[in-house]
């Protein structure tokens, strides 16, 4: 067997081996995905339930099963109505903005029946630790005009003070602050649509 035949045989062996390893790795990944899909979906569901319970007014219905999707400015926003009996007492709304410093932020906002913010939970973001990541505490702080809780977007200018608004932005994180408040306004607009429909 010549050197060129040995090299060709060796190359074919390596390609075949690599093909087998790649196929096995693909099958293993597919198997892991099938096994973990259910638990991941359940963890996401439990996270939504927890966020709804922490931000919405007291309710006795199942907001998750009664969720509605509302169109706001060309986007779809999910609203979880909070009811006592048949009466709408508020909602939890998944607001978002694509304009964070590091991209998309998702926030669950709670509103009472008249549109006042009852709470919020940041669901996901990629903002800078120590700066933009402060949004989960900053906008509930009683210092200055930071807190959005207890305020209504219908009666307050929910933009940062730097833009002539009523809310103090996070120090050194104005872009994140603008995105957070944009998410709040989007959530309020979605809530307002279901509020006026009831």
This prediction's pTM: 0.79
112 and 170 part of one domain: yes
pLDDT bin (cut points 50, 70, 90) of residue 39 is confident
Rounded-to-integer distance, Cα 37 and Cα 124, Å: 19
Asked which of 38, 55, 72 is the last residue of a domain, the reply is 55
169 and 73 part of one domain: yes
pLDDT in tens, 151-181: 999 999 999 999 999 999 999 999 999 999 9
42 and 110 part of one domain: no
Structural domain total, the chain: 2
Report which of residues 34 and 2 the model is more confident about.
34
90 and 182 part of one domain: yes
| Structure confidence at residue 118 (pLDDT) | 97
Strand order through the sheet with 103-112: 68-72, 75-84, 87-100, 103-112, 117-124
Placement of tokens 């309020």 in the chain: 188
pLDDT in tens, 72-95: 989 999 999 999 999 999 999 999
Q: Is the predicted pLDDT of residue 1 greater than 60, yes or no?
A: no
In this structure, what token pair is assigned to residue 140? 């509930």
Closest listed residue to residue 132, CA positions, set 89, 183, 187: 183
46 and 71 part of one domain: no
37 and 62 part of one domain: no
| Structure confidence at residue 155 (pLDDT) | 95
65 and 108 part of one domain: yes
40 and 73 part of one domain: no
65 and 5 part of one domain: no
DSSP-assigned states of every residue in 139-189: TT--STT---TT--TTTS--SBGGGT-SBPPPTT-HHHHHHHHHHHHHHHH
pLDDT bin (cut points 50, 70, 90) of residue 8 is low
Q: Which domain holds residue 28?
A: 1-55
């Amino acid at each position: 067997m010549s050197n060129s035949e040995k090299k060709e045989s060796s190359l074919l062996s390596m390609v075949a081996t690599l093909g087998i390893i790649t196929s096995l790795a693909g099958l293993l990944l597919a198997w892991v995905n099938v096994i973990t899909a259910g638990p991941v979906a359940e963890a996401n569901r439990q996270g939504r339930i927890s966020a709804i319970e922490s931000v919405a007014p007291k309710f006795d219905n199942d907001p998750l099963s009664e969720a509605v999707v509302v169109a706001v400015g060309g986007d779809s926003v999910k609203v979880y109505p909070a009811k006592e009996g048949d009466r709408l007492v508020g909602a939890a709304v998944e607001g978002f903005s694509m304009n964070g410093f590091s991209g998309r932020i998702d926030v669950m906002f709670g509103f009472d029946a008249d549109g006042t913010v009852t709470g919020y939970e940041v669901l996901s973001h990629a903002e800078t630790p120590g700066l933009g990541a402060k949004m989960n505490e900053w906008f509930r702080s009683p210092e200055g005009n930071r807190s959005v809780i207890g305020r209504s977007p219908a009666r307050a200018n929910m933009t940062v003070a730097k833009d002539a608004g009523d809310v103090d932005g996070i120090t050194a994180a104005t872009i994140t602050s603008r995105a957070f408040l944009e998410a709040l306004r989007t959530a309020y607009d979605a809530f307002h649509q279901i509020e006026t429909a009831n």
